[in-house]
Structures are given as C-alpha cells and as structure tokens.
Amino acid sequence: MPYASQSGTIDDGRNQDGQCTNNCDFCDSIKNPKKEYFEALAKKKITALAFEYIKDEDGSYPAVKSLSEIAGTASILVAAELMINNQFGKGLLFGNITGVPPTDVVILGAGTVGEFAAKTALGLGANVKVFDNSITKLRRLQNNLNQRIFTSTIQPKALLKALRRCDVAIGAMRGKDRCPVVVTETMVEHMKKGAVIVDVSIDTGGCFETSEITTHEKPTFIKHNVVHYCVPNIPSRYSKTASLSISNIITPYLLQIAEDGGIESAIRCNKGLKNGVYLYHGILTNKAIGDWFDLPDSDINLIVF
C-alpha cells in the first residue's frame, strides 16, 4: 500500500503524447491516516480503489469480512499467549482440563470478529459470554455456533459482573465513525489482577476507556493490573495468511478488469467494484473519507454511469 511519502513515486498517468491514461491503485485507505496522501493522488488524477469498500453480490464487504475472521481468531490466540507470559501472565491454559475450571472469556460485539473469537475460544474449551446491543446479531451468532452460549445486550450491571469474573475480554465492537466506549475505566479497575484485554476495535478508537494504541514491537501495557493488547490491524501479525486471504478476493477482480478491457469498463459493469472506488481521476468519491479528512467529495454514481 502506498503511503503519503511514497505517493510521489506514482506517475501522473500520462503517455508520451501527454494524454492521460488510467492508473489503478488497490489499497487499504482506512489504515492511512494522512490527508496529504489523498491530496497527492488527487493532484496526479489517479483512479484508486480500496479493497475494504468493495461489495459482494449479497451486499457484504468480502475483504473486511475475511480480515475480521483472522482478527477474531487471532485475538484469542494472542490472549492465550499473554496469559502464560512469564512477566505478567496468570499461568492459565486456554483449555477445559478435567477438574480445572475453564477460562472465562467475555466478547463485546457479535459481528464477524466476535463470532470467530467465540468459535476459537469454544474450540479451546473456554466459557464464553457475548455482549451486543443487536438481538439479530446475537441470534445469528447462536445459530452459526450451533450451540447455546451466554448472550446479553450491553447492560452496565450485567457487563460489570461478567468482567469481574473473566480472565480475557475481547473488544470487537463497531461504530459508524468511531467505536462506542462500552467499558469504563471503573469497570477495568474491578477486573481480576492479570486479566487480559485484547481490543480489536482499537482501529476505530477502541471500546475500552483504558485502551491506548500500541505496536507489534511493543504490543502490551499494564493498567489497573490488567494487561492491554491494543495493536491496530491484528491480521498483519499473520502476514502470509492475511496476504493469501486478500489475494483470493482481489485476484478475481483483477482478472475481471482485464476481461472488461480496463478499469473504466469494469466499474460500469460491476456495482460492487464501483463501490470500492474512492478516487476517480483525482476526484474523491468516498463520503466517509471526505468527512474524516475534511476534503470535498462527489457521488461516484453522478460521474460514472
């Protein structure tokens, strides 16, 4: 993915006759926090697509869903590692060993991340509780897991009770612009000493009040005797799996673009691909990016027919 510092290496898409040609750039736009990046692409009249905005036939976002599956599974594996860390771990095995009480896991959010976190935790033998304000998502989660688990809407008393008893808490909430903070600092103070928080939602602000962005080089910090893991873009920890997953999604689109005779024809034929365009010949066509970076935007449907 090109960053703001690298956008100058992209040519302006003009041939020897000075005519403008198409430059197509697939990238993950949400993870790029620089306004200058979009301004540089706009100046060079680039047509750019973000894979997280590309829609499938059923209206879902395949790239987001795929990476969410990895993040959900990885969050439990990361928590399992942290619980046996020599410096601050509790020495608990993430499994249901005969005669030993199972590990208690609280998952906030019943979306794709929450679902795969629950599947992984249950597979390891943990006792799982899932909280979400959407009854539809909770019902779908129950059906996809093929077993009944504890589910609840987010009620402060019930959530605090679960957090006080849990060994691991996973943040997998989503919000329109920013993730809602559902766990206050007071709630974290009441958690067990040595408990682990993995805030997958940190990409959009985090759903724990005590969350602070960390890096893969220094992924954890301890606050109120609770271990916090708040690394954005958790799938990048499993780089090959994430790359293969994204390649499986992008490759068919690239082949389709070639068959259609270029990006111009492809986005006219494929509504899902057109939804992924956030810059069209230098014109910003994604309202979310425009609002986030205070840039003027236009509706892609008014430009491409």
For 12-63, how does the pLDDT look when each residue is reduced to its tens digit (9 = 90+)?
555 444 434 445 555 554 554 578 888 888 899 988 888 888 888 888 889 8
N- to C-terminal Cα distance for the chain? 28
Distances (CA, A) of 24 to 48, 191, 261, 277: 5, 49, 13, 10
Q: What is the model's pTM?
A: 0.83
Query: Does the pLDDT value for residue 85 go beyond 90?
Result: no
Joined together, the tokens standing for residue 109 give: 């959010």
Cα–Cα distance list, 36 to 2, 4, 41, 43 (Å): 12, 6, 9, 10
- How far is the C-alpha of 93 from the C-alpha of 100, rounded, in Å? 10
- 285-296 per-position pLDDT tens digit: 988 888 878 888
Query: How far is residue 42's CA from residue 36's CA, in Å, rounded to a whole number?
Result: 10
In 62-139, at which residue ranges do the beta strands (DSSP E only) sit?
Answer: 104-108, 127-131
How does the average pLDDT of the chain come out, rounded? 86
Edge-to-edge strand order for the sheet containing 47-50?
A: 24-27, 47-50, 277-280, 283-284
What would the pLDDT profile of 219-271 be if each residue is shown by its tens digit? 999 999 999 999 998 999 999 999 999 999 889 989 998 998 888 888 888 88
Packing angle, helices 135-145 and 112-123, rounded to 10: 40
Chain segment 108-134, per-residue pLDDT in tens: 999 999 999 999 999 999 999 999 999
Diameter of the chain measured on Cα atoms: 78
CB of 149 closer than 8 Å to CB of 110: no
Span 199-215, average pLDDT: 92
Q: CA-CA distances (angstroms) from residue 164 to 110, 150, 168, 207, 226? A: 20, 16, 10, 17, 11
